[in-house]
Amino acid sequence: MGKKGENKEVVEMEVVTSEDKEVNLMNERPKIGGGMSEVLEELENEVIGPIYHPHVPRSLGVEPMSRILLHGPPGCGKTKLSNAIANEAGFPFYKICATELVSGVSGASEENIRDLFTKAHRTATSIVFIDETDAIATKREISNRVMEQRIVTQLMSCIDESSRIVKPISRSGTAESSDCRPGYVLIIGATNRPDAIDPALRRPGRFDREIYIGVPDESARVDILSILTRNLKVEGAFDLLKIAKSTPGFVGADLVALTKKAANLAMNRIIGQRKAEVCTKHVKGQPIERWWKQPWAPEEIEKLSITMDDFEVTWKASFKWKWKIVNPY
């Protein structure tokens, strides 16, 4: 019973065909910045193009690059980049956190991994994205548990199998008609701790390419901020370069949080002004109660905006908090 329950969780999360809405096919190209556009363009040439047209590398007698390891500090956009790769390619996309594959039942974790790759082969060409890869690929020489060592071995076996060209498999378990072109399974791993991953997985032939996604520089932060503020209603001149200069060391996730906090600060400021205005009015000599129920006039809505001051107050508070985390003493 426990084993079935564990597998059921993966099946409910994993997806197989677009017909039954089980495959996460993304239709809109995500807006990525922070230097990752260049990385994506490079991967289009080295990975997406050859896998999209598998007959090209086959005619040359080589295999396309089909296994990538993204690594770098948290919040730098590794998951965002994997989404962009899947979106550009338009392949079935299997996104999973490594810890969701792990089960406390003996043998269930290995079966979960096999099931994941079986589904990917069934819809090849497809993409498997494993976040927090280090959680199931720890170095076997420092692992004291036999189960963890078996999980690493199973993952290596599945990765080796993914390098072969396959035909999509029908639901009956047989290869589909010749109308369906054969393809590969592209594997993308992401980790904050590449040194914790078993060396056997990082050797050539397993993860063919390792890409470091680092902390964005000033120019990259301007690029990220321009995307984040594109749909914001701002007031007057908005100096993104000034914000970028004032946020050294901020990664993409920090800038997303900064933008949200500035928007919330603006909302609190606007609501506070609204409360003061409404509460000064009287009806028959009595203050208006439940001021927040009073309707907003269209002209009042039109005047709402986020100001540069909102961002300045927010980034100063955020920078102090970030500095305190990095330098606790």
Q: Within this chain, do residues 184 and 253 fall inside the same structural domain, yes or no?
A: no
Whole-angstrom CA distances from 30 to 91, 164, 310 are: 15, 30, 27
**Are 222 and 177 contained in the same domain?**
no
Average pLDDT for 260-287: 76
Q: Measure the CA–CA gap between 91 and 124, rounded to whole angstroms.
A: 8
Domain co-membership, 140 together with 270: no
Separation between Cα atoms, residue 131 and residue 270, nearest integer Å: 40
Residues 111 and 230 in one domain: no
Same domain, 63 and 185: yes
The total number of structural domains that make up the chain: 2
CATH of the domain at 154: 3.40.50.300
**Which of 194, 212, 230 represents a domain boundary (last residue)?**
212
Residues 202 and 286 in one domain: no
Structural domain that includes position 231: 218-326
In this structure, the answer to whether residues 152 and 274 fall within a common structural domain is: no
Q: Same structural domain for residues 88 and 162?
A: yes
Domain end position, chosen among 177, 212, 247: 212
Residues 111 and 68 in one domain: yes
The beta strands (E) that lie in the chain are given as 67-71, 93-97, 126-131, 185-191, 209-212, 282-283, 286-287
Q: Are residues 251 and 156 in the same domain?
A: no
Phi/psi-derived region of residue 255, left when phi > 0, alpha when psi is between -120 and 50, beta in every other case? alpha
Do both 132 and 20 map to the same domain? yes
Is 209 or 318 the better-scoring residue by pLDDT?
A: 209
Per residue in 90-127, pLDDT (tens digit) is 888 999 888 888 887 778 888 999 999 989 888 888 89
**Per-residue CA distances from 162 to 86, 116, 183, 241, 328 (Å):** 17, 12, 10, 45, 45
Q: What is the CATH number of the domain that holds 309?
A: 1.10.8.60
Q: What is the pLDDT of residues 163-215, one digit of tens each?
A: 666 655 554 544 444 445 567 889 999 999 999 898 988 888 888 889 998 88
Q: Say how far residue 37 (Cα) sits from the centre of its chain.
A: 15
For the chain, give the percent of residues with pLDDT over 70. Answer: 76
Instruction: Please report the pLDDT score of residue 34 as a whole number.
Output: 61
Q: Is the dihedral of CA 211, 78, 191, 47 positive or negative?
A: negative
Instruction: Determine the Cα–Cα distance for residues 3 and 79; give it in Å rounded to an integer.
Output: 29
Q: Write down the pTM of the prediction.
A: 0.75
Final residue in a domain of this structure, among 171, 194, 212 = 212
Residue 25: pLDDT band with limits 50, 70, 90: very low
26 and 93 share one domain: yes
